[in-house]
Amino acid sequence: MKRILEQEQGSSLLEAAILMPVLLFALAGSVDFGHLFYLRMALSSAAAAGAAYGTQHPSDTAGMISAVQLDGSDVPNLTAAASYGCECADGTLASAACTTVPTCPVNVINYVDIQASYNYSPLIAFVGIPSTFPLQERARMRTAH
């Protein structure tokens, strides 16, 4: 019995040495995807902030973009686009920037549309996942004007 125990002396160290890279890779993947979801939520919040600003100032697209970038300051190289327009409540006719108000059978709805985007690069290259891929969030809100 003593001889069997002597042969297993370093086996736990060997098991730990084999398992440690797998555990570290899993930990790195968890951190990477956590960072991805954090950035996705930050983009969503930034787009909503730009749209909230746009509901009060619908023709100020520069101000909407500034609100997006200010709220999304945690996201490096964030890009934003803003637009406004009007459309029929039933969705049949639309006009960008409301240059000509559509003639609608019911109501005209004014809106602002915000798009926030970021190119995400994972910390570790995983098989089947591209080295960079775009994250995009969009917020669209009605305005009172």
At residue 144 the predicted structure's pLDDT band, cuts being 50, 70 and 90, is confident
What total number of domains does the chain contain?
1
pLDDT at position 92 = 80
How confident is the model over 53-98, as pLDDT tens digits?
999 999 999 999 999 999 999 999 999 999 999 888 887 888 887 8
Q: Is residue 111 over pLDDT 70?
A: yes
Q: Mean of the pLDDT values across residues 28-43? A: 92
pLDDT at position 113 = 95
81 φ, ψ (degrees, to nearest 5): -135, 145
Which amino acid is located at 73 in the chain? Answer: S
Domain limits for position 130: 2-142
For the record, the structure tokens of 134 come out as 């775009």
At residue 8 the predicted structure's pLDDT band, cuts being 50, 70 and 90, is low
Q: Are 38 and 123 in contact (CB under 8 A)?
A: no
pLDDT at position 14 = 86
pLDDT at position 136 = 96
CA 86 to chain centre: 26
Q: CA triplet 84, 49, 133: central angle to 5 degrees?
A: 85
pLDDT at position 23 = 93
pLDDT at position 2 = 57
Q: The tokens 């934003």 sit on which residue?
A: 80
